[in-house]
Chains A and B, each alone.
Chain A
Amino acid sequence: MFAIDFGKPKNEVVVGIDLGTTNSLVAAMGPSAPFIIPGPDGDPLVPSVVTALPNGDFLVGNPARRALVTHPRRTVYSVKRLMGRGAADIAEERKLLPFKMGEGSESVIQIELGTRTFTPPVISGIILRRLKQNAEEHLGEPVTKAVITVPAYFNDAQRQATKDAGRIAGLEVLRLVNEPTAAALAYGLDKRKEGIVAVYDLGGGTFDISILRLQDGIFEVLATGGDTRLGGDDIDNLLLRVALEDIASEWGEDLTKNLEAVQLLRRAVIEAKHALSVLPRTNVVLEYRDRRYARELTRDVFNRLVLPIVERTLAPCRQAMADAGVTTGQIDEVVLVGGSTRVPLLREAVERLFRAKPHCELNPDQVVALGAAVQASILSGQQTDKLLLDVTPLSLGIETMGGLVSRIIQRNSTIPASATETFTTAVEGQTNVLIHVVQGEREMVKDCRSLARFDLKGIAPMPAGMPRIEVRFLIDANGILQVSAREQRTGLEQSVEVKPSYGLSDEQVEAMILESIERAEDDFAERQVREMRVEADNVMQAVEKAKQSDAWFERPEDERESVNRALNELLVVYHGDDHTLIRVKIEALDEATRPLAETIMNSAVNTALKGTKI
């Protein structure tokens, strides 16, 4: 007799995902270390940008980022800043993000893109699904489970919205991990066996500071703090405003309402910001409708502009140290995370505050995803020598008489954490009790953030004050609240109806699962073709524009002919279904137009140098 050896069933891979404000990444654990999974274009970062095309398809990542200029009304970015928020609390975001808000945005924002509206969890779900597909392509197996990171300072609604996004994307979210904690895991700082570490994370949209104690493989978060509306976006917005004013006085034209121009200028100020991290000076350049704006920006001026943003990060750092009960002298290491920590002024400020040279060996925009992959391998049981003990960033309270908050779980409590309170009735025969739960550190309900109202229903009619309902508040390992109740006398589980103040109900999430809101996607090849066509659109549009310029007529006859030929050849393959062929023709067109592009660039630079306007 012989037996067939099917081998051991292979453990399903769990990926780690950094769902960022600006960039998202997916990573997995390799034999010895975590690695980033690149997209099909080879870029490890997938920009968190989504375009809803008129035909019902979506562009995600780099193609969508390029479409920001060509399809500004159909493209949305930095949607993480809208997660778990309602219309009333996004005044800041409205100034920053030029999106159209649809009706019924009170508890969940409705983002209008073209003729359709989408909630932030759906947009995030579209990004997550792309990361899932990238991982499946790369690993050659289905991916259905993930660890997703969130800013440590995210509240309950923002966490829930992130979990919903995972579900919408067809992912089972095994755990939400706080971004700074994930970064500490990625650094393998446990190798030092013992010590206190500060993780400073300034990304595109959020700021986090966490203080951890490491001991024998345990990463115990002592305290965390932050600001969920502070990041590189704010620097961009500042520079953008200054540039718009400058242009208005130079051109006598206010471009603020001109979405296309604003997006071009936004791109230009971001480029300048990045350049200033390595250069002492650079130029902000906008070319728009045959006009050209160029302004030199020095690092000194830049530093003066962003100083207030740098300073806004320092108070949460001091508070977190106080909460952790540590002084600067006790901090052994500082870790820098997030693309915005490349700004030299910021590095200096952090170094001065903690009096320690910060770590930045790992790429600051990849380290969180790598840590998420480490946590994924811990959850799937592949690593048993490490353990994360995280905390809840905000105190949990319930509304009491006079609009006051009675705190039941303090901020920085290790999670899971629980508290039990007993409630009763105020009038005879009352059959339900309403509990209003809030998050925040202030004394008054109106100054805290409403989390949900819990309706304890079906209380047997009794004289006032007789029923004794024990309510248990439990913050789980994801930092999300669960509530259960029982009647003390009978010991019976009491039904609790939850009315979240912000966010989607279970049924709404169900209806948003991506397959149900769009036509059946998605053959990988088909998608690549569609993306390549948008790419081709962009290139052809640019070439057509260049052909209107003086430079075009200065080029030799044969060169112009070869450009036209390349353009025609691209048009021929455009409607075919071979994406590589389209790419080849795009590249050929690029090649053919290079001298033309250079001429245009040079003449632009020359005019700029002469200081005259075109």
Chain B
Amino acid sequence: MKSSKEKEKEKDKYKEKEKENSKLLELRNITKTFPGVKALDNVDFDLFAGECHALVGENGAGKSTLVKIIAGEYKQDTGEIYICGNKVNIQDTHHAQELGVAFVPQEFQLIPYLNGVENIFLGRLLRGRFGNVNWRLLKKKAQELLDSLEWKIDLSVSVKNLSVAEMQIIQIARAISMDARVFIFDEPTAMLGEKEIERLFDLMNLLKEKGIGIIYISHRLAEIFPICERVTILRDGKVIGTSDINKISIDEIIKMMLGRSLEESFPERNPSIGQEVLKVEKLSKRGVFKNISFKLREGEVLGIAGLIGAGKTELVCSIFGKLLYDEGEIFIRGKEVAIKSPDTAISYGIALIPDDRRNEGLIMSETVRENISITILEKLKRLLLIDRKAERKKVVEIVDRLDIRCASIEQKVGYLSGGNQQKVVLGKWLIANSDILIFDEPTKGIDVGAKRQFYQIINELSRSGKAIIVISQELEELIGLTHRILVLAKGKVVAELDTEKTDKNEIMKYAVGSFR
């Protein structure tokens, strides 16, 4: 590439010019207020053809709000939107689609009882020339789309039976099946594994070559460098800066996001490991996982790695009594236990932080306070009634500790930003003081600052003798946090690795099965 500098310069110039002509999207002075917060404050933003523009910022910075305005879900209070130089007044999501905007939202917007094909083409079924819907054709189209991405998903089951990663893939497929000029991805990779992410990036490169513009939101800052051309940093609803990606470093981005810099990300592991608290022996569930055995001791952090569909979530759900296992035994502090429902698991001191916050983690109709204190209501009982004062105190404590951004603890969780919702899910289990904590994708969607905070908390918990299991797609996280890592592939344990002596590559090799 670097044959001669002059050539490069000329190229740059040429690009500049072409860019001017190819501004797909421009936002000017966008302001949006919700009760109690100014989510966006005079935001300018633009997007060129063939460009991927990253949008980063803390949880609650206003990223989703901004893209939802482009996608027609919200209406800005003031400010203008131009698409290909024409001022537009986006009425609703349908209108945005007509204008060529395809949107993959942060939270699932799928219809749980419909299958993959139906969800992918939802709202666009009737556009055919004939009255009836040609399901065969649609199914074929959907299948081709997924095949081209090497994503294997059963399109004929209701999406409610899919895992969160699969749901995410359906959402992405839904967007790319649209004929759009602007694509918006709001944290598409939060639930995906390395392999799926690679495929997604291939796809994004393809889109860029076709002259399509992409707005890309992510909290995995490292991944924006290879895929994006520019980055815009938001803080408290304001644009802090926009830069070419190769003129900025990750540390600079973090500093602009948080207004401060971060030091070492992972605290030192807890050195003192105590007695065995949990032992799983030959646990099997037909068609899902088989013969799984492992031990977990006080103060230990055990990681579980594996590709999507390897059975990680199902395994921990079985330990927690959410799913029932077919065979095998579970021992807690040496005693065999029969866990048939979550409440028995909880009575044994186990907590599961689920990966699907919308369907299983939160009660959207309730407030931040109610969602967090739900696990400790019995403990808050004085005589017959709940001690409201103590409840508030505990909740405010955890809200401050996790830096949950909400207008007040009486705000409905449905109105919080995605990352802040995730922090509420963490909060309600951190408050419960369980002995065995199982985190299923705990940091998805939370910003770098909050991640560090969370790592700190995990560390403190393990130092205080809690036994912890962490499932994560982010291998750096597993390597930084855990003592041991269990690698699952196709429902079986393929390796048990000492974290100190392993690395990302080894884990991946086991996970994809190339060691066997």
A and B found bound together? no
Interfacial residues, chain A to chain B (CB-CB below 8 A): none
Interfacial residues, chain B to chain A (CB-CB below 8 A): none
